[in-house]
Structure 1
Amino acid sequence: MKVINIDREIMGGTPVFNGTRVPIKSLFDYLETGESIQEFLNDFPSVQKQQVLRLLELSQKMITSSSEILSENIVE
């Protein structure tokens, strides 16, 4: 399942949920202010719950990978 779409013709190339015009950043803005995933989905019905869950999985993998890369390259 493709989750993120980046296309200059859609929102000027801002990363959006695939098949929508909803910026990925909007989800993180909601979560940052303490709102739930369900509230986000209610406000953006074009986004599927599976897309949100997959994006969060991808984000977790990126953070984990970044931590490993950074820890391997830190000079103490």
Structure 2
Amino acid sequence: MKKAIISRNPAVMNGALVFAETRVPVEILIQHIVSGDSLDKFLEDFPTVSREQAVSYLKMTLEVADARAA
């Protein structure tokens, strides 16, 4: 079974979408990228998020954007 990348639970960060098994909202990754920070900087700032989780989330976001544009 594939491990979850993200999760949402009303008891964790008020139900914000977070990286699985962390309390780090995925929105923080997007904010880092938009502000010009590198993925490495994000991972340094939030060591509970794995590189695999962050990259998988970005790929998933791209797939959703592609599907909506089609």
TM-score by shorter chain over 0.5: yes
Structure 1: runs of 5 or more not aligned: 69-76
Please tell me the root mean square deviation across aligned C-alpha atoms, in Å: 0.5
Q: Percent identity?
A: 29
Q: Decide which of 26, 33, 36 is 1:34's aligned counterpart.
A: 36
Structure number with larger C-alpha Rg? 1
TM-score normalised per structure 2: 0.95
**What's the counterpart of residue 65 of structure 1?**
67
- TM-score, normalised to structure 1, is 0.87
Q: Which portions of structure 1, spanning 4 or more consecutive aligned residues, are displaced by more than 3 angstroms? A: none
Structure 2 segments unaligned to the other structure (5+ residues): none
Equivalent pairs counted in the alignment come to 68
Give distance in 1, aligned partners of 2:36 and 2:5.
23
Q: How far apart are 1:19 and its partner, in Å?
A: 0.5
Give, in angstroms, the shift of residue 46 of structure 1.
0.2
| 3-state SS, counterpart of residue 41 of structure 2 | helix
Correspondence 1:8 to 2:17 = no
